[in-house]
Structure 1
């Protein structure tokens, strides 16, 4: 009898455990199957909640939850596809890279990392979730650049022609803040599908002309990559935007609507949200010198840092000369022979940590020891100057404009391609 009772209790416990396990699995269900991965209900809910929170902060109205859910689902499908590609390509973002990015975001917001963490968690988002979302965005960006950059080809003649156009035209002095709505067309669309998409685009344009909110309609109707941001493409000159847009936007005024414009991916509707005069291109350069100590198997990180602290103190006390210490001790052989002199250079040419130092240090001050991928440094900024754009910078600027234009065009094409090629199954509720 006792044995029988024990068996009954054991079976009861097993059934109870199974019921609880089933309950736990049902808490977060699979919403969409994407190739060999999934998008969870919780992920869609979190993205919708994030968009709603941002809209509330900006006093922006939003469409129905069903529409938001559709847009969020599409965003997550594309994100999942790109994460799968990243895994196959071996693309990863280390904790150190992520921490550096978060520090840069905080600095851009004129806040400390702790202040930014408090701001994030105040909205109900966990800091760990925020960190992983940033990591995902960084990985997706790496995948996009790796895949799309190779589709962009720019000839020297194109660069020279644009430089000439810029020099002979005042068009480059105007930048446009564009809103964008894309009404997509199916791949290999038949005439009926094409006509339906065109009619939908015309309907959206008519609603905009009747005063409906552009950002809300973008979230509701757009298939563009910036739909959840209200279709905001940011600031760009006519030379930076896709050719299709530049041909019709150039010369338009704030508030003007343009479209529908037909491209390979669908019908585009644009709104000139604002315009501004483009500032003369100026380049800030710094003249600096440094001492580099590289850790090794016989020289620890801490010892390298201590050495630089000692050198810095000797210089400050007048007991040693910066140039002489650099010649004798710096591991940067190229600059050591010149007393640590790096000459005039743009801060962007240096490693991120070094760039931050030369941009923020007062002239003449010697930094505390800091670490980069090359080792430990102390650096002194000797002078700063601002240069007008030269022929070299005009070439670089023209190239970047062409690259930006072609990259935007190819990115839309590539994202539609990977979406069309993926296996996507929406799980029935």
Structure 2
């Protein structure tokens, strides 16, 4: 009996030690931590993705460095969000998951099954989505306030766009950053520059750009293989825009020095941007929000009755919207939303409008905001106007400055943080 108990106790202790080893603290980040199992999980996920896409990854040691850095930055952003009281609701998480499912041309249930089938936990998956939304929101909130786009900048870019007829080229860029500390010494600068030049040699000798980026880049997109996606020159950081001008596809450019370090760019592809006509809709809606008092069923039934009254001629849609709609921005205008690109609406709202002809009403439907009925007033094809030029110019300038400031903000919160990498992570 004693032997059996001893054996059982040894097994329990062995299992406990295994769990402790997996759940041990790998990095201390201010008052928070990054756990060993978080690092291992993300490494395993990246390896699975690489296996499916045929992408070669760097050594486990190099991959671990990149994964650890991403998790440190994520932890810092989550802490910052908590500090300013920023929270992502369950409805926002579900909306994001719905959009992920739509992009993959599947359902939420199928997506859940895919996560489980691949060995994951769906609740953990939802938490990852929540953290990503939180990081995006806190970055947008903190960086946007640092950006000012002057009327003079907009006017200058509008003039340029009109001269070019908006036939601007877009570049699909790869990016590698050999980083520098904010107070770098002369020897650190020289060392980083030498590393950047060696990276360029590797790339010119045919090394895979994504693999090199994952293994050596300190940029925000390192674990995505340094892929910055498609950008117009007016949306890029100024240094990048000047560097890619007149360059050809597959060109490797750099090293380009900035305060962050030495940048290396690869032009993966180039395409022309042609002027397109914008399809706009004018619609009006009534919104009823579920609450402790108003259930989903009651909200839906209320809107169903409103719809019957309108169709029977007993009520005017605009009057009902003014009296009952819980969208304060449109209620005062009889529910009218004005002319807009339908893509600006949440997917359910956009889909409801897509099925309507002018004058028709939708059946009640639900979005993250609540229950709606909507009437499509009219559609139009809108040519580019001065207002559209200005909006486009502002967006380009804002995106350019946002990309620059976001990188600087992340560096700042990391430089100001207490970070201790423990054990084998050093």
Is the TM-score greater than 0.5? yes
Residues 37-68 of structure 1: per-residue CA shift (max 9 Å, x gap):
11111100111111111111111111111110
Change (3 A) 1:425 1:190: same
Q: Secondary structure at the match of 2:86?
A: coil
Q: Secondary structure at the match of 1:128?
A: helix
Aligned 8 A contact 1:180 1:233 in 2: yes
CA distance in 2, matches of 1:132, 1:300: 26
Query: Are positions 1:87 and 2:82 aligned together?
Result: yes
Residues 190-223 of structure 1: per-residue CA shift (max 9 Å, x gap):
1111111111100100110011110100001100
1:104-123 correspondence to structure 2 within 5 Å: 104-123=99-118
Query: Are positions 1:31 and 2:3 aligned together?
Result: no
Counterpart in the other structure of 1:211? 206
Aligned 8 A contact 1:175 1:275 in 2: yes
Query: Are positions 1:331 and 2:307 aligned together?
Result: no
Q: CA deviation at 1:225?
A: 0.4
CA distance in 2, matches of 1:106, 1:374: 19
CA distance in 2, matches of 1:325, 1:406: 43
CA distance in 2, matches of 1:211, 1:391: 46
Counterpart in the other structure of 1:321? 313
Q: Secondary structure at the match of 2:274?
A: coil
Aligned 8 A contact 1:327 1:337 in 2: no
Q: How many residues align?
A: 421
Q: Choose the corresponding residue for 2:223, options 212, 223, 228.
A: 228
Q: Choose the corresponding residue for 1:266, options 256, 261, 265.
A: 261
Q: Secondary structure at the match of 1:133?
A: helix
Q: Choose the corresponding residue for 1:379, options 368, 374, 383.
A: 374
Change (3 A) 1:381 1:257: same
* Structure 1: unaligned runs, 5 residues or longer: 1-5
Q: Choose the corresponding residue for 1:102, options 97, 104, 114.
A: 97
1:340-355 correspondence to structure 2 within 5 Å: 342-347=337-342, 353-355=348-350
CA distance in 1, matches of 2:269, 2:30: 41
Residues 62-88 of structure 1: per-residue CA shift (max 9 Å, x gap):
111111001000111111111111111
Query: Are positions 1:410 and 2:405 aligned together?
Result: yes
Deviates more, 1:245-254 or 1:348-357: 348-357
Counterpart in the other structure of 1:427? 422
Q: Choose the corresponding residue for 1:253, options 230, 248, 251.
A: 248
Q: Secondary structure at the match of 2:324?
A: coil
- TM-score normalised over the length of structure 2: 0.88
CA distance in 2, matches of 1:19, 1:338: 68
* Structure 2: unaligned runs, 5 residues or longer: none
1:102-181 correspondence to structure 2 within 5 Å: 102-169=97-164, 172-181=167-176
Q: Secondary structure at the match of 2:48?
A: helix
Change (3 A) 1:366 1:38: same
Q: Aligned-residue CA RMSD in angstroms?
A: 3.1
Q: CA deviation at 1:407?
A: 0.9
Q: Choose the corresponding residue for 1:189, options 171, 184, 202.
A: 184
Aligned 8 A contact 1:175 1:276 in 2: yes
Deviates more, 1:293-302 or 1:88-97: 293-302
Q: CA deviation at 1:325?
A: 5.1
CA distance in 1, matches of 2:354, 2:346: 12
Query: Are positions 1:308 and 2:303 aligned together?
Result: yes
CA distance in 2, matches of 1:123, 1:17: 28
Q: Secondary structure at the match of 2:380?
A: strand
Query: Are positions 1:238 and 2:233 aligned together?
Result: yes
- TM-score normalised over the length of structure 1: 0.88
CA distance in 2, matches of 1:35, 1:135: 21
Change (3 A) 1:197 1:287: same
Q: CA deviation at 1:371?
A: 3.8
